[in-house]
Amino acid sequence: MNPATYILTVNKDKKIVRWDAIWNNKNEDALKALTDAGVDFPKVEGDQMLITREEGEAFAAKYLSAISNGFLNNSHADKCHDFVADNVTWDWSDGTK
């Protein structure tokens, strides 16, 4: 199995205007299916992954906890500062930019 996440941005007419997808780009079956379907994307060669799956899952769990806690007091700048670079595009209601 190769779970995928699709992020679809729709306009007021409920038409998709942007389509992003995230999947395991080292899954050869998924890569073949996507390539056969005409999807054009760069293939990761060798070991270009920056972190392991386990490290990614641990990072995601900590980040999701932090962002959830940020909703309690609209304090994402405080709760999430360890997870974002100094320069990031982010315009949030708590003044984080």
Cα gap 88→53, rounded to integer Å = 24
How many residues in the chain?
97
For the entire predicted model, the pTM comes to 0.50
For position 74, what pLDDT does the model report? 84
Residue by residue, pLDDT tens for the chain (97 residues) are: 456 777 778 888 888 788 777 777 677 787 787 778 877 666 656 666 677 878 888 988 998 898 888 888 888 778 887 887 777 666 666 666 6
For position 65, what pLDDT does the model report? 92
Structure tokens that stand for 15 in this block: 């038409």
Structure tokens that stand for 41 in this block: 């994307």
